[in-house]
A and B are shown apart, each in its own frame.
Chain A
Amino acid sequence: MTTSKAENGRNLKEAIIEGLIWFSGISAILIIALIFIFLLKEGAPAFVNVPISSLLGRRWYPIEDLFGLLPLLIGSLLVTVGAVVIAVPLGLITAVYLGEFAPTWQRELLKPLIEVLAGIPSIVLGFLGWVVLAPLVQNMGASTGLTAFTGALILAYMSLPTIISITEDALYAVPNEYRDGALAIGATQWQTIWRVVLPAARSGIVIAVMLGIGRAIGETMAVMMVTGNAANIPSWRTGLFFQPVRTMTATIAAEMGEVAQGSVHYSVLFGIGIVLFLITFAINSLATRFVSGGDGRATRRRAQL
């Protein structure tokens, strides 16, 4: 028997579709690889030409060839940690309210509204932070309104929609049978949520938090507008979060336009890019491990007793 015309056509179509899918997959990988290679090529000289001790220095002052990354690292750290500390509890509580307590009409009203918030351009939020938040922070007693705390507030606001929306999806995916099982034993609704629903939704919640943090670490524009951009290391004495800082992203964005291509300063800026890349990569792999850890945690702890 020979293959029919129709069958030939079908096979050809299959082959084309398969090829397209393969091509898309490969090009995504290739593009990422290319970006990383480019980053390495431009940034690696920084780690060769500038001694590590100097990169770990406390002063970022490129005009005098001082390339201490510490203030920038600490700036990013303060703003991000601040944002996470504010956004994660708030986001989780809001999601639990929406998913477990709110009547349907409220959920149907609020969920899309929250998702729209995610679409507000960051420059608009930066502007809002500058005009509204900064004066408020200054009134709280800081010497200026443009501080790490102001940046953290804006970033928290930016990551909230992501955290809320994805956490709510994760809660929604928990089968009602689990809730019934807990309630039928005589657990209160709150115990049911805390001990059954949240653990069951854990991997989704971790992803929500990670995406929220990802948004915070990488954000540049809004942060640049409200953190004051002074590359100094805030001290405990004067209030860690209530002084101007400069983040890694803001540094790259602000200085890239002015450096000579191929100069040391130029390669250090790319070096900062590499550091950012590594941090994000580390957080992602940590999250993946945490997620695939499954039910083990509480269990393993008991097993050791």
Chain B
Amino acid sequence: MENKIEVRQFNFYYGDFQALIDLNVPIRANQITALIGPSGCGKSTFLRSLNRMNDTISIARAEGEVLLDGKNIYDADVDVVDLRHRVGMVFQRPNPFPQSIYNNVAFGPRVLGTAKGSSLDDVVVESLKGAALWEEVQDKLYEPAQALNPGQQQRLCIARAIAVQPEVILMDEPCSALDPVATLRVEDLMRQLSKNYTIVIVTHNMQQAARASDWTGFFWLGRLVEFGKTGDLFTNPQEELTESYITGRQG
């Protein structure tokens, strides 16, 4: 199976503090990879390393390779803006811009200049449908995004991300601010999206990882303890640490 992203010997530092240690992670194309682990173990840091969102933190420093289609995204000749266009991101707290629903989705195509006028309208509609939000908002496209409920806002953020047709979508605990019904909707959506996109999701909810992902990686104190097919990792963990973590949480 093909690896969309291949992380090799990756180390990450906030100043003197090493947040990620010797990581080697394969991310399979068109599959859902879940990252689990206790809070503070570096899941968000890792995710943000995959589209270089950590560049905005001045004290941060990365070592090693993150190969996207075989090309290291930390190479000097990589255009970060172009990289983030290919590797989109959905955040823990829904963060729609304080603008209309339409303008939120149209934001990406507009700044990238990929669609205008009626073709922009089409992209907006398609993205909202893709994010399973169209039915709910088709009558209020020009109303403020802030008027939506949190679950709808998060799906709007997903629509905003897919409007630029990225290859990879990173999701950092996208359901932690949502109720169970909205959570299931987003999980369904992820399953659909994985046909066309490679998805990496961070979650502290192990049921969610077990339910919604194809591959699971277990992080502990900045290290990747275990990585494998989701079914195997949850039913038959190879490491004691993994076992105590997943049973401890479930029991």
Contacts and interface: CB of A to CB of B under 8 A. Distances in A.
Given A186-B81, A187-B81, A196 B97 contact: yes
B84 A177 contact: no
9 contacts: A178-B95, A180-B89, A181-B97, A182-B97, A184-B51, A185-B84, A185-B161, A195-B110, A199-B98
A48 interface: no
Contacts of A295: 98-100, 144
A185 to B, nearest CB: 4
A281 to B, nearest CB: 29
B154 to A, nearest CB: 12
Interface residues of A, number: 25
B99 A180 contact: no
B101 to A, nearest CB: 9
A200 interface: yes
From DSSP, what is the main secondary structure of chain A's interface residues? helix
Interface in A186-218: 186-188, 191, 195-196, 199-200
Interface stretch (A129-137, A140-148, A297-305): A297-305
A183 interface: yes
Interface in B110-169: 110-112, 142-144, 157, 160-161, 164
Contacts of A302: 100, 102-103, 142
Contacts of B108: 185-187
A294 interface: yes
Interface of A: 175, 177-188, 191, 195-196, 199-200, 294-295, 298-300, 302-303
B99 A188 contact: no
Category for how many chain B residues contact A: 20 to 34
Contacts of B142: 299-300, 302-303
Interface in B81-108: 81-86, 88-89, 91, 93, 95-100, 102-103, 107-108
* Most chain A CB neighbours (cut-off 10 Å) among B56, B96, B107, B160: B107
A188 B81 contact: yes
A191 B84 CA distance: 14
A294 B160 contact: no
A185 B85 CA distance: 5
B88 to A, nearest CB: 6
Given A177-B91, A180-B53, A186 B99 contact: no
B208 to A, nearest CB: 22
